[in-house]
Chain A
Amino acid sequence: MQTLPALPRRYHRSLATVALTGLLLLPAARAADPEVTLVIRGHKFEPTELKVPANQRIKLIVHNQDTTPEEFESKRMKSEKVVPAGAKVTIWLGPLKPGRYEFVGEYHEASAKGVVIAE
């Protein structure tokens, strides 16, 4: 196997340290994060357009009112999460740059579509 270019060993350690302390220092959920709610009904999202502030982390609550599970998926927002029937789940999004971010319900892609608009 080809090895990576030799880095001085001290870098290996500091890289791991940086990664670990990064994990510890980064803030967990803050109270100030804006919250938006999305409902799934009849394999459709309501509303289909969600306006959220840009450059801020968003707490998205998805409430699946159908009797079947759905998977919230957005390639652009790097989000993928199953929402069981009747469940209410939290999905962290962003911070997003201003723009449009499409999402779908993967299990019913034909009807379950929507877009997050960050501005």
Chain B
Amino acid sequence: MFATALIVFRESLEAALFVGIVAAATRGVAGRGRWLGLGVGAGIAGAVGLALAAERIAALADGLGQDMVNVAVLSIALLMLLWHCIWGARHGQEAARDARRLGSSVRQGQHAPVALAVACGLAVLREGAETVLFVIGMTGSDSAGGIAASLAGVLLGLSIGVAVGALIYFGLSRVPPQRLFGVTQALIVVLTAAIASQLARALAQAGLVQSGATPLWDSSAWLAPDSAPGALLHALAGYDAQPTALQLVFYVGTLLIIVAAQRHTSPQRATTAAA
């Protein structure tokens, strides 16, 4: 049961943290609950669909079907997050400035967090499909512990995953409103770079690029990727103990693009006396 719980927890952690951070970042945004709920719900539905079609997808593209799906999902997530970091953030920045001045909580008006909702849905889709597939396989197998114990493990793993997501949400909710935007925004920028690094890895696994599996360094002795802090840092910041050159280029490139674009579109530049 605990082995099952651990696998399900590992799969759900990344998506749960992602959704928790996004939920904190969009506090006070009109329609946030509806949009994020929709994103997560669609992600779960998609995960079930993807898992049910797994055998068919696996056979596509000469056995690379899943990798192609993975590349597509990560690319769309990356675009959504880039869009949010570059354009969506500007709106929030202004709102945060107003909040600072007025000492009130951030009200971002009618700006619906569609891009973030889609990114949440895709995070759930990615991690969820594997979880569903694992669960389907387990309930259909002659597992020693029996189905009841397995299902208990699934529920336990999932609950702990969701609890960690809730923990980061409530943790972030304690950040003072005038600083909340900056903090969550920084977290989302780093998550975006992490997705870019995952995309680099997915492209290599799909055989679309030949980046070489030779890692640039190996820090697993220093911070093991399967240790709790390593896994957490992987989910939050894309920590990789053995990154390839392409992953690093994608990671740093994404950070640079966001920083450059934010400077370019910074409200201070097109400064107005927004009352």
Binding site for B on A (CB under 8 A): 1, 3-4, 7, 9, 11-12, 15-16, 18-19, 22-23, 26-29, 57, 59, 61, 67-71, 75-97, 106-107, 109
Contact = CB atoms under 8 A, between A and B. Distances in A.
Contact of A28 (B140, B207, B244, B263): B207
Contacts of B255: 4
Interface of B: 3, 7, 54-55, 58-59, 62-67, 130, 133-134, 136-138, 140-141, 182, 185-186, 189, 201, 203-215, 220, 225-226, 241-242, 244, 246, 249-250, 252-253, 255-257, 259-260, 263
Contact of B205 (A18, A23, A76, A91): A91
Contacts of B244: 78
Given A19-B249, A93-B213, 16 more contacts: A1-B185, A4-B256, A7-B256, A12-B256, A15-B252, A16-B253, A26-B211, A28-B207, A68-B137, A69-B54, A75-B225, A78-B244, A92-B207, A96-B214, A107-B134, A107-B137
A89 B64 contact: yes
A69 B204 contact: no
A86 B54 CA distance: 11
A91 B205 CA distance: 7
A115 to B, nearest CB: 15
A19 B210 contact: no
Contacts of B7: 106-107
B214 A89 contact: no
